[in-house]
């Protein structure tokens, strides 16, 4: 064999020294990581709320932020970065350092519907984030103007089939209200007309006024109008009945799989240390047990819902799959 293929023999002492140096480097890195996790957090945390001040997401973010602050012993600053249906604030967090000091209160829109509507959103809802915990859900219900001669979902569907072109409102193209109407039209095989508004408030006003016939909307938003007799509720879009809400589910009414729930969850940038994720998830879970936070959520019609990071990751994938199918089937495009 040619000598050019022979490797020079490394003295045993050098090999031992090299292994020792490598081992110490690994120990040092592990120690540094552990020390970081134990000292986290040592400065304020920013919780990005990707919608404007005063809405349900903002109020939920502030409630969660307050309880998280008490749990970790540091300030949690809620920073509203609204725009592009939550995409601007979400993209900011996706690009932030994965150290646990910049978090996002994401939602159905930011991690379910927006990515289904726009593959070029500027962030990947799965690859660009570290899931931490679900925090709350708000169910949708189907409401109609009181003049509609239907007192159940079955009666409403029969009426819609006999009168094609019934109109429903939404907070805009691609909103949960819009896609819920699309899904109902597909599942019940009814011909309905979508009327987009700049926010769900104006749509609700026109529904009450009789310009629209029906709408899928958050329970909390519709409840005062239902109690005042200005709207009539027919069904709730949850897998099971909700305690304290006297409404049958869509499944009970013959449409299993029709589920529309506004959900809210805490995410961080991709690549966060597992110990930091575990600490945040644990503190959020403790905060959700707080009577004060539960009372705050109850006023919003929201149900506190904690989860493990793994459960949240599975939930996001499930929501993406579901809304992507609806968008593709209905060929919905957002300009």
pLDDT confidence of residue 298: 87
For residue 320, pLDDT beyond 90:
yes
pLDDT digits (tens, 9 = 90+) for 189-229: 999 999 999 888 899 999 999 999 999 999 988 999 999 99
> What's CA 74's distance to the chain center, in Å?
25
Nearest partner of 169 among 205, 143, 148, 195, judged by Cα: 195
For residue 325, pLDDT beyond 70:
yes
pLDDT confidence of residue 35: 47
pLDDT confidence of residue 332: 85
Q: Does the N-terminal peptide bond of residue 185 adopt cis geometry, omega within 30 degrees of 0?
A: no
pTM assigned to the model: 0.81
pLDDT confidence of residue 14: 55
Mean pLDDT across the chain: 89
Q: How far apart are CA 55 and CA 34, in angstroms?
A: 38
For residue 57, pLDDT beyond 80:
yes
Report the residue count for the chain: 335
For residue 79, pLDDT beyond 60:
yes
Which residues, listed in sequence order, are joined to residue 166 by a DSSP beta bridge?
Answer: 192
HSE value, Cβ hemisphere, 13 Å, CA-based, for 192: 32
Q: What's the pLDDT band for 66 if we cut at 50, 70, 90?
A: very high
pLDDT confidence of residue 199: 83
Which residues, listed in sequence order, are joined to residue 76 by a DSSP beta bridge?
Answer: 45
> What's CA 108's distance to the chain center, in Å?
4
Round to the nearest angstrom and report the end-to-end CA distance of the chain. 69
pLDDT confidence of residue 318: 94
Is 153:216 a contact under the CB 8 Å cutoff?
no
pLDDT confidence of residue 275: 96
pLDDT confidence of residue 292: 92
Is 132:265 a contact under the CB 8 Å cutoff?
yes
pLDDT digits (tens, 9 = 90+) for 260-315: 999 999 999 999 999 999 999 999 999 999 999 999 898 888 999 999 999 999 99
**Eight-state DSSP code of residue 256:** T
For residue 28, pLDDT beyond 70:
no
For residue 230, pLDDT beyond 80:
yes
**Residue % of the chain over a pLDDT of 90:** 71
HSE value, Cβ hemisphere, 13 Å, CA-based, for 199: 8
Q: What is the mean pLDDT of residues 115-123?
A: 89
Structure tokens at 65: 């932020």
For residue 13, pLDDT beyond 60:
no
* φ, ψ (nearest 5 deg) of residue 132: -120, -55
**Residue % of the chain over a pLDDT of 70:** 88
pLDDT confidence of residue 198: 85
Between 270 and 118, residue with greater pLDDT? 270
Q: What is the mean pLDDT of residues 99-124?
A: 93
């Amino acid at each position: 064999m040619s000598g050019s293929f022979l490797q020079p023999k490394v003295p045993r002492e050098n090999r031992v020294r090299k292994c020792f140096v490598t081992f110490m480097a690994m120990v040092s890195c592990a120690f540094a990581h552990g020390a970081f996790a134990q000292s986290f957090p040592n400065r304020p945390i920013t919780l990005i709320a990707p919608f404007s001040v005063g809405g349900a997401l903002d109020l939920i973010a502030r409630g969660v932020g307050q309880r998280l602050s008490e749990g970790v012993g540091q300030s949690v600053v809620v920073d509203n970065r609204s725009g592009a249906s939550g995409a601007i604030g979400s993209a900011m967090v996706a690009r932030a350092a994965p150290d646990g000091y910049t978090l996002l209160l994401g939602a159905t829109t930011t991690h379910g519907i927006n990515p289904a509507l726009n593959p070029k959103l500027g962030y990947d809802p799965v690859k660009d984030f570290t899931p931490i915990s679900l925090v709350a859900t708000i169910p949708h219900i189907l409401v109609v103007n009181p003049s509609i001669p239907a007192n159940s979902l079955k009666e409403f569907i029969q009426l819609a089939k006999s009168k094609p072109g019934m109109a429903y409102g939404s907070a805009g193209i691609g909103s949960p209200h819009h896609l819920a109407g699309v899904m109902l039209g597909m599942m019940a095989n009814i011909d309905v007309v979508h009327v987009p508004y700049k926010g769900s408030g104006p749509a609700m006003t026109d529904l009450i006024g009789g310009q629209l016939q029906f709408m899928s909307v958050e329970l909390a938003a519709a409840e005062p109008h239902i109690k005042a007799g200005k709207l009539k509720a027919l069904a709730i879009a949850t897998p099971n009945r909700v305690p304290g809400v006297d409404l049958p589910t869509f499944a009970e009414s013959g449409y299993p799989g029709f589920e529309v729930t506004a959900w809210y969850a805490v995410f961080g940038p991709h690549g966060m240390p597992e110990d930091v994720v575990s600490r945040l998830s644990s503190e959020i879970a403790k905060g959700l047990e707080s009577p004060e936070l539960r009372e705050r959520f109850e006023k919003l019609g929201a149900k506190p819902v904690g989860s493990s990071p793994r459960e949240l990751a599975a939930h996001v994938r499930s929501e993406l799959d579901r809304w992507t199918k609806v968008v593709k089937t209905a060929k919905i495009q957002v300009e």
